[in-house]
Amino acid sequence: MATLRILTEEGVHRIHEATLELLANTGVKVGESRVRQILLRNGCRDLGSELLGIPRELVAETMLRPQAPLVLQGTDPGRSLTLDGSACYLQNFGSVSVVVDLDSGDLRDATYRDAVDMARLLDALPHCHHAGPLVLPVDMHPRKAKLAAAVATLLYTGKPVSLGAVSDAQEAELCVEMSRVVSSPERPIGRISISPISPMTFPTDICEAIHVAAVSGLPLLGLPCPIRSMGAPLFLAGALLGQNTENLAFGVMARLVNPEVKLMHTSRIGTPHMRTGAKAGADPDVGVAGACMAQMARYYGLPSNVYGMDTGALVSDAQAGLEKAANTLRPMLAGADQISGLGQLGGGLVASFVQAVVDDDIFSFLSHHLQALTVEPGTLDLAGFRRVVGEGESFIIQEATLEALNAGDVWTPGRISAPGSWDEWAADGRKTAHDRARKFARDLLASDPVRYRDDHQEAALNAIVEAA
């Protein structure tokens, strides 16, 4: 599927070699924890000031070996995803505590009701393939809010689910417990994300979370989020190096705890506004970085999960469409397995129902660009030409026309597309794409919810939230 190469083979090799140099000789800060003791027992050097040097032999032993294709299980088996490089899938971003109100268009604090509504919307969007907590409710204790948002996702989507980002052992244990409530041993549901602190710092709480999550056997997403000029060099190549180093350090730690744990290689590089320090959002390097990390992921034999659908726009407008489409297309062409960002505005600080619907259509449109063109006798349709040119028939009545439609050879306009003509559009009230997206979201949320858990499972999940 991959057709775009931003990094040359030499560039990939240089980043890899520089990563090994950093891990071995600069070292990674690792807080006192079970993970630190495991690293020391496996040959890592104590460099002082909490720094551990990870030898290149240990990196090779743990990370330079093939990983079987990662299957992200959905409650509905038909919606499970196999990440083997053959397709690119979309997921939402999260979790933020500010949402654009669907009716007024104003910003307001997110509530648990929004967490439920967002989960229902994600479940209904056909090109959102993987769902996670999109908003963080502020109408409950912060400790409960993260878990409650994960519960809302588990209750209201049958897609593969992210259980959210955890920051200590207790959060990790509770997420693992939630997964067990809704899973069978053969089909574990849920993925756990854990973020180190850039540059290359794994505090005690993060290390303990890695230990708990790795033991569980659930897929893990190490989620380094370096900000250029702050947590990584301003040069994009240097930022890629820092992020790659944090990804590999995370992977070494997780695989020393559990050699069979399934990992992903990620990109979440941000660029600040150089006058204010705020995350810019309107940043074409998001797409470049995502494409580069997709290449690095293939080098290590890992599936990639990269940021791409990013925008600095504060409302769902032309700026948002331009930035999201451009930043998504490059990683898609580079062979990314998953792209994150659906539903976000304002550089990832604001969640929007309307933008989520628009993003779903953007991804559908871009996905058509990735389809390989099949050139064979059936698609060339010589018989159709003979009947039309020689016998006066029409292409529209040929069997090949129906076959082409069924094969997806023609892109089907999505929910936000305007009617075919000016007169039809005017007769329909001159609605914009955002009007149509808003109507879809409103109609969906006014309908009866689809629930994916029984009463016993829901009660068990809510008990876990209360235990927090």
The pLDDT tens digits of the residues spanning 105-146 come to: 999 999 999 999 999 999 999 999 999 999 999 999 988 999
The pLDDT tens digits of the residues spanning 11-40 come to: 999 999 999 999 999 999 999 999 999 999
Query: Selecting from 1.10.510.10, 3.20.20.480, 3.30.70.260, 3.30.1280.10, what CATH number does the domain 70-371+457-467 have?
Result: 3.20.20.480
Number of neighbours of residue 132 by Cβ within 10 angstroms: 28
The pLDDT tens digits of the residues spanning 203-235 come to: 999 999 999 999 999 999 999 999 999 999 999
The partner residues of 29 in beta bridges, in order of sequence, read 51, 201
Q: Any idea what DSSP says for residue 76?
A: S
pLDDT tier for residue 51 given thresholds of 50, 70 and 90: very high
Map residue 75 onto helix, strand or coil: coil
**What is the Cβ-side half-sphere exposure of residue 178, based on CA atoms within 13 angstroms?**
33
| Distance between start and end Cα atoms, the chain | 43
Mean residue pLDDT of the chain comes to 95
pLDDT given at position 373 = 87
Residue 415 confidence (pLDDT) above 90: no
CA 139/CA 216 separation, integer angstroms? 30
CA 247/CA 195 separation, integer angstroms? 10
- Across the range 316-342, mean pLDDT stands at 96
CA 230/CA 133 separation, integer angstroms? 27
Tokens of 364: 């559908």
Tokens of 397: 């009545």
- Across the range 296-312, mean pLDDT stands at 96
Nearest to 268 by CA among 329, 225, 326: 225
Contact status, residue 305 vs residue 275, Cβ threshold 8 Å: no
Nearest to 153 by CA among 190, 184, 126: 190
Contacts of 438 (CB under 8 A, 6+ apart): 102, 353, 354, 357
Tokens of 44: 């890592």
Match 């109408």 to its residue by tokens.
139
CA angle 341, 346, 351 (to 5 degrees): 60
pLDDT given at position 2 = 67
The pLDDT tens digits of the residues spanning 183-205 come to: 998 899 999 999 999 999 999 99
- Across the range 150-164, mean pLDDT stands at 97
**What is the Cβ-side half-sphere exposure of residue 396, based on CA atoms within 13 angstroms?**
0
The pLDDT tens digits of the residues spanning 170-179 come to: 999 999 999 9
Bridge pairing between strands 98-100 and 191-194: unpaired
* Spans of all domains in the chain: 70-371+457-467, 377-406
Nearest to 92 by CA among 161, 167, 172: 161
Percent residues over pLDDT 90 in the chain: 88
CA angle 234, 237, 242 (to 5 degrees): 80
CA 263/CA 303 separation, integer angstroms? 8
Cα separation values, 336 from 149, 245, 257, Å: 27, 19, 27
pLDDT given at position 280 = 64
Write down how long the chain is.
Answer: 468
Nearest to 267 by CA among 237, 299, 297, 293: 293
pLDDT tier for residue 419 given thresholds of 50, 70 and 90: confident
pLDDT given at position 95 = 87
Q: What are phi and psi of 35, to 5 degrees?
A: -65, -40
pLDDT given at position 310 = 93
Residue 155 confidence (pLDDT) above 80: yes
CA 225/CA 197 separation, integer angstroms? 8
Tokens of 354: 């309307």
pLDDT given at position 233 = 97
pLDDT given at position 390 = 92
Map residue 421 onto helix, strand or coil: coil
pLDDT tier for residue 413 given thresholds of 50, 70 and 90: confident
CA 408/CA 415 separation, integer angstroms? 17
The pLDDT tens digits of the residues spanning 235-290 come to: 999 999 999 999 999 999 999 999 999 999 999 999 988 787 776 667 899 999 99
pLDDT tier for residue 414 given thresholds of 50, 70 and 90: confident
CA 452/CA 146 separation, integer angstroms? 20
Tokens of 85: 């490089």
Residue 437 confidence (pLDDT) above 90: yes
The edge-to-edge listing of strands for the beta sheet with 89-92 is 89-92, 338-342, 304-307, 263-267, 220-222, 191-194, 162-166
Residue 1 confidence (pLDDT) above 80: no
The partner residues of 264 in beta bridges, in order of sequence, read 221
Map residue 25 onto helix, strand or coil: helix
Contacts of 160 (CB under 8 A, 6+ apart): 72, 73, 74, 79, 80, 81, 129, 130, 131, 189, 191
